[in-house]
Amino acid sequence: MKCDSFGNNKVIQPLPATPSADRNQEAIYRALYPRFLARSQVLELGSGTGQHGVYVSEREPSICWQCSDTEDKLDGMQAWVAAAHVPMPSPIVLDVVALDNEPYLNAQAYDLVFTANTLHFVSSEIAASLVKCAAKALLYGGYFAVYGPFNDDGEFTSEGNRGLQDWLEARDPKSGIKDFQWLDKVASQAGFDWYEQVPLPSNNFIRIYKKN
């Protein structure tokens, strides 16, 4: 993976934007910085537009942040990475449920795998596949950090999350906010140990696991 392979300081307009990324990227950066951003190799699963990767990379140019998502997101990620003010690797197509990911993931050695606002948008089966994908991509002793809303043993942690759940179910009945306990179990089955939880604004959290 080369960190000078795509980013070229070329501005492509208009850049696709996700409002939630605009709102939470500074809080995410401040949470990740003291814990992990000395680590040089980062894979983001479900990057969407790629905004998070560009935001962090421009503040921590020593890291190599690899954006990835499904093929329909590739153009948006490429636009953001191309407009970055620091070199970044070319975004890649990585579908967490695709079997042909295995050769790619097994060849990598990431220190940190990060995902933001992904698990509640997909079914439990796809979310579990994402966790397994993170485990395959990480070095032993590496970290998996998950940002988003969570329930606690089936109970909403905020009224806002109750409304979010209604919207998610109307959009896709298989999607929905995952429980802390569910994610802990799936992470353990994938080979992770619990590490830390970081509360963030708007009733969101970063849940952190370490590959054992």
pLDDT in tens, 75-131: 999 999 999 999 999 999 999 998 667 666 777 789 999 999 999 999 999 999 999
Cα 33 to Cα 21: distance, rounded to the nearest angstrom: 17
Tell me the backbone φ, ψ of residue 99, rounded to 5 degrees.
Answer: -65, -30
Tokens 């109750």 label which residue? 162
Residue pair 184/178 in contact (Cβ under 8 Å)? The answer is no
Of the candidates 116, 98, 140, 151, the one whose C-alpha atom is nearest the C-alpha of residue 45 is 116
Q: Is a pLDDT exceeding 60 seen at residue 11? A: no
Residue pair 142/41 in contact (Cβ under 8 Å)? The answer is no
Instruction: Calculate what percentage of the chain has a pLDDT beyond 70.
Output: 91
Q: Is a pLDDT exceeding 80 seen at residue 177? A: yes
Q: Is a pLDDT exceeding 60 seen at residue 9? A: no
Here the tokens at position 172 are: 């896709």
Cβ neighbors of 163 (< 8 A, separation 6 or more) are none
- Mean model confidence pLDDT for the chain: 90
- pTM to 2 decimal places: 0.91
Among 47-51, 104-108, 163-167, 199-203, the least confident range: 104-108
**Quick one: pLDDT at residue 12?**
46
Of the candidates 7, 16, 25, the one whose C-alpha atom is nearest the C-alpha of residue 116 is 25
**Quick one: pLDDT at residue 41?**
92
Query: What is the edge-to-edge ordering of all strands in the sheet holding 64-69?
Result: 92-93, 64-69, 41-44, 110-116, 138-148, 204-211, 192-200
Which CATH superfamily is 19-148+179-211 part of? Answer: Vaccinia Virus protein VP39 (3.40.50.150)
* Domain edges within the chain: 19-148+179-211
Tokens 């501005």 label which residue? 11
> Which pLDDT tens digit goes with each residue over 127-175?
999 999 999 999 999 999 999 999 999 999 988 999 999 999 999 999 9
Among 14-18, 146-150, 152-156, 183-187, the least confident range: 14-18
Cα 9 to Cα 152: distance, rounded to the nearest angstrom: 43
**Quick one: pLDDT at residue 17?**
77
